[in-house]
Amino acid sequence: MALQTSADSPAPLRQISTLLGSWIDRLGAVWVEAEVAQLTRRPGICFLTLRDLRATIFIDATCHLSILDASPAPITEGARVVVQARPTFYAPRGALSLELREIRLQGEGELLAQLERRRQLLAAEGLFAPHHKQPLPLLPHGIGLITGRGSAAERDVLENARRRWPDVRFVVQHALMQGEGSARGIMAALAELDADPTVDVIVIARGGGSMQDLLPFSDEGLIRAVFAARTPVVSAIGHEPDIPILDLVADLRASTPTDAAKHLVPAVIEELTALADMRERGRLAVLALIDREQRGLAAARSRPVLATPTSMVDTAARLLSDQRDRARRSIVNRLDRAGDEIGHHLARVRGLSPLATLERGYAVAQLPDGTVVTRTAQLNPDGELTVRIVDGIIAVRTLSIEETPHD
């Protein structure tokens, strides 16, 4: 029911705002197709400005940061999206906005999202792991090339590689490089080259193009075929910004076909120059070594030990002779001291010996049982005893016994 107002009976602004808010709330959640004209991230919330795809119509929108991050591919300004939103009217400012509940990329954005999901799945299986990468040969005997017939990519690879190494040998397999069925053709060419024992490395090359043109190089079947190949594979697709999934699984990614030629073979001029430099450095190193050894030999020859080789022997002989003389003198001195000591001990022993006493005229009287007679009381008249003198023993019989008084 329409609101009845007039110049004499106007409606207050708050009533109009309330009515607008209630009418907008009746609309409920709607799906809206638009383009992201402006995007501002804040902690926990995002502010967007949506623009109609044809008309010059803009409307503000807000959403939680998690809704934006839930998209499999990044949502940026200029992206075409379909959003589920609830229109809201902010009465204090009279502002209309959309409260976003879900965001889906459309067109190229949706395609990027699909490729991102495929990339994440293959990465989770380990197809892009660095330890699966095979090294390229330094100088391959044969190079397999998969490219479009008569394409600029074919010309760039062949001409640049032969300019760097004229004797390089190519085995070229032509295949459809875009459109339906192109991935199967590339896989067939890859299988044929991988089975060729004369091919040491395989290059898949194509010039630039749109995202849709490069879709075959993100085909899951082709990616798995490259991963399973026994021959190293080089990806040379598009320009530097173009990164199809093939670049991630290949053993080497070249930014362009021309760049691939630089990685395939070395430059013969550079190699010859490097070889000449190495030869010259080797020659100088040998000369320096010989000169150093000659100076060392001359210094060694000038030393006294080599000028008079017997000097060391003579010195050692003199030292040995001196040591022998010192040892002889030391032994003689020790023998002399030992002889003197023995003489002193012998004299002392002789002085204490009973024989020395007997030599001075004394004698030792003993009873028949060997007892030494020291008192007259030990003797009996007409008893027998022996007298030991210095040179013998005398048998004696006692005739009389006379005691000598003691003072």
pLDDT range class, residue 60, cuts 50, 70, 90: very high
Whether 293 is covered by a domain: the verdict is: no
Task: Identify the residue whose tokens are 């502002």.
Answer: 95
pLDDT range class, residue 17, cuts 50, 70, 90: confident
For residues 318-326, average pLDDT = 91
Is the pLDDT at 368 greater than 70? The verdict is: yes
Whether 349 is covered by a domain: the verdict is: no
Summarised one tens digit per residue, pLDDT across range 35-58 is 888 899 998 899 999 998 888 889
What is the pTM assigned to this prediction?
A: 0.51
Per the structure, the count of domains in the chain is 3
Q: Do 98 and 127 contact (CB within 8 A), yes or no?
A: no
81 and 136, same domain (yes or no)? no
Whether 49 is covered by a domain: the verdict is: yes
Whether 404 is covered by a domain: the verdict is: no
Quick one: which H or E segment has residue 30? strand 30-42
Report the pLDDT value the prediction gives residue 159, as an integer from 0 to 100.
93
Sign of CA dihedral 190, 192, 194, 200: negative
Is the pLDDT at 406 greater than 70? The verdict is: no
Task: Identify the residue whose tokens are 């902690």.
Answer: 43
Report the pLDDT value the prediction gives residue 194, as an integer from 0 to 100.
94
Question: Of 1-15, 28-42, 197-211, which range is least confident?
Answer: 1-15
Summarised one tens digit per residue, pLDDT across range 165-187 is 999 999 999 999 888 888 999 99
Sign of CA dihedral 348, 354, 355, 359: positive
102 and 183, same domain (yes or no)? no
171 and 80, same domain (yes or no)? no
Is the pLDDT at 188 greater than 90? The verdict is: yes
The residues, ordered by sequence, that sit 6+ positions from 258 with a Cβ below 8 Å of its Cβ are: 156, 157, 160
pLDDT range class, residue 109, cuts 50, 70, 90: low
Whether 340 is covered by a domain: the verdict is: no
Is the pLDDT at 289 greater than 60? The verdict is: yes
pLDDT range class, residue 287, cuts 50, 70, 90: very high
58 and 134, same domain (yes or no)? no
Q: Which residues pair with 344 in a beta bridge?
A: none
pLDDT range class, residue 260, cuts 50, 70, 90: very high
Is the pLDDT at 111 greater than 70? The verdict is: no
- Rounded (10°) angle between helices 220-228 and 182-194: 10
Q: Choose among 179, 208, 192, 181: nearest CA to 146.
A: 192
Q: Choose among 41, 45, 86: nearest CA to 63.
A: 45
Q: Which domain range does residue 69 map to?
A: 14-106
Residue 270 dihedral angles phi and psi, to the nearest 5°: -65, -40
158 and 247, same domain (yes or no)? yes
The three-point CA angle 364-383-391 to 5° equals 30
Q: Choose among 177, 185, 257: nearest CA to 215.
A: 177
What 3-state DSSP class applies to 277?
helix
102 and 142, same domain (yes or no)? no
151 and 250, same domain (yes or no)? yes
Share of the chain above pLDDT 90, in %: 40
176 and 253, same domain (yes or no)? yes
Report the pLDDT value the prediction gives residue 1, as an integer from 0 to 100.
58
Share of the chain above pLDDT 70, in %: 95
Question: Of 117-121, 148-152, 353-357, which range is least confident?
Answer: 353-357
Among 233, 266, 299, give the residue marking a domain's end: 266
**CATH number of the domain bearing residue 101:** 2.40.50.140
Q: Do 254 and 237 contact (CB within 8 A), yes or no?
A: no
Whether 330 is covered by a domain: the verdict is: no
Do strands 80-90 and 95-105 pair parallel, antiparallel, or not at all (unpaired)?
antiparallel
pLDDT range class, residue 20, cuts 50, 70, 90: confident
Is the pLDDT at 309 greater than 80? The verdict is: no
Report the pLDDT value the prediction gives residue 390, as an integer from 0 to 100.
76
48 and 160, same domain (yes or no)? no
134 and 253, same domain (yes or no)? yes
Among 220, 243, 266, give the residue marking a domain's end: 266
For residues 307-315, average pLDDT = 77
Is the pLDDT at 216 greater than 70? The verdict is: yes
Among 57, 75, 106, give the residue marking a domain's end: 106
Report the pLDDT value the prediction gives residue 407, as an integer from 0 to 100.
55
**CATH number of the domain bearing residue 191:** 3.40.50.261
Summarised one tens digit per residue, pLDDT across range 133-171 is 999 998 899 999 999 998 999 999 999 999 999 999 999
Q: Do 104 and 162 contact (CB within 8 A), yes or no?
A: no
Q: Give the strands of the sheet with 170-174, arranged side by side.
A: 170-174, 143-147, 201-206, 233-237, 252-253
Whether 276 is covered by a domain: the verdict is: no
161 and 245, same domain (yes or no)? yes
Radius of gyration of the chain (CA): 61
Question: Of 57-66, 133-142, 293-302, which range is least confident?
Answer: 293-302
Whether 297 is covered by a domain: the verdict is: no
Per the prediction, the chain carries an average pLDDT of: 86
Report the pLDDT value the prediction gives residue 113, as an integer from 0 to 100.
66
156 and 240, same domain (yes or no)? yes
